[in-house]
Amino acid sequence: MRMEDTEFDTAWIGDTLGDWRDRAAPLLDPWVTLGALASETEDLELGMLVTNLAWRDPVHIARFAMSVDQLSRGRFVLGLGCGQVDDQLMAGRPTFDMPNKERVDRLEEGTRVIDQLLRGDLSDFNGQFTQYENAAMAPGCVQSPRLPIALAGNGPRITKMAARMADTWNAWIDITDVDEFHRRITERCAMLDDYLAEIGRDPATLTRSLLALDEAFDAWSDPGAVPELVERFAPLGFTEFIFFPPEPRDWRKFLKVGVDVLGSLRS
């Protein structure tokens, strides 16, 4: 059975230079893999969650994203973030030693660069971290006015950035105590609501997305886990839920969730 035969809507891929949990594990380049997925799927939305602008060049990312949007015929979502230190194999000392403020500064400026280029704004850019002239983005995005951008982060600054600049705000369950995470993310959602009202943006235009890290949440051993999570966080406005893939031995459970459990949630 293919993933497109289930009730899953989107397949996401992470952007790292290797598997930080097992450096000997095989892992193909994510941007090349997205090109292959685009050609092997028909309806499934494809997403990058996330590409790390602390060390990725935003001009290159804009070109990569536009290319995947073309190859998938308009089925691509670009997730942007500033990443974790421990998952950036081979990224080098400047990335490992980078202060958190600079990471977020690079994310903010890089998102501006990517947004402009994907919208077809080819004017010269002279920022703190990125400078370019004579930009080229043909043929441009399939989606209009550009492909969707998701900004990922649990902190207040990135949450506000998402309200201003993104189509989706992605938060992630980063602790095993889901009750404590729910308390914290409830406060963050209230802050997001206040900021959206302050800038006059309709909350319905910003998708809220929740990633359940596999260290914090097991979606596959208990068939009731996913519906319980959705029921818990949907009242906060979350409409998109993302889970790490199971181990190969749990593939049947993955398919059961994808067919039976998600099907019941839609009914």
pLDDT digits (tens, 9 = 90+) for 28-73: 999 999 999 999 999 999 999 999 898 899 999 999 999 999 999 9
CA distances from 262 to 12, 104, 171 (A): 17, 35, 21
Q: What is the pLDDT of residue 99?
A: 86
Give pLDDT, residue 30.
Answer: 92
Residue 145: is the preceding peptide bond cis (ω within 30°)?
A: yes
pLDDT score for 260: 76
Backbone angles phi, psi at 180, to 5 degrees: -65, -40
Cα 234–Cα 241–Cα 8 angle in degrees, nearest 5: 125
Backbone angles phi, psi at 54, to 5 degrees: -70, -25
Q: What is the DSSP string of 189-253?
A: HHHHHHHHHHHT--GGGSEEEEEE-TTT--SSS-TTHHHHHHHHHGGGTEEEEEEPPPPGGGHHH
Give me 79's structure tokens: 């997730």
Could you tell me what percent of the chain has a pLDDT over 90? 64
Alpha-carbon span 79 to 247, nearest angstrom: 24
β-strands 45-52, 10-13 pairing: parallel
The DSSP bridge partners found for residue 242 are 211
- What is the structure's pLDDT at 170? 97
DSSP string of 95-153?
Answer: HHT--HHHHHHHHHHHHHHHHHHHTT----EE-SS-EESS---TT--SSSSS--EEEE-
- The whole-number pLDDT of residue 259 equals 74
CA angle at residue 166 from 162 to 168, to 5 degrees? 85
| DSSP state for residue 3 in the 8-state scheme | G
Q: For the chain, what are the domain ranges? A: 3-266
Which residue in 163, 170, 233, 232 sits closest to 203, CA to CA? 163
Q: What is the pLDDT of residue 85?
A: 56
Burial of residue 61 (number of CB atoms within 10 Å: 0-12, 13-18, 19+) = buried
The CATH topology of domain 3-266 is TIM Barrel (3.20.20)
Element (H, E) at 181: helix 178-199
In terms of C-beta distances under 8 Å and separation of at least 24 residues, what long-range contacts does 21-25 make, across chains too? Answer: 23/89
The Cα–Cα gap between 56 and 15 comes to 10
pTM of the model as a whole: 0.93
Q: What is the CA radius of gyration of the chain?
A: 18
Pair of tokens at residue 215: 């260290």
Return the SS3 of 266: helix
**Residue ranges in the chain modelled with pLDDT below 50:** 1
Distance CA 74, CA 147 (A): 7
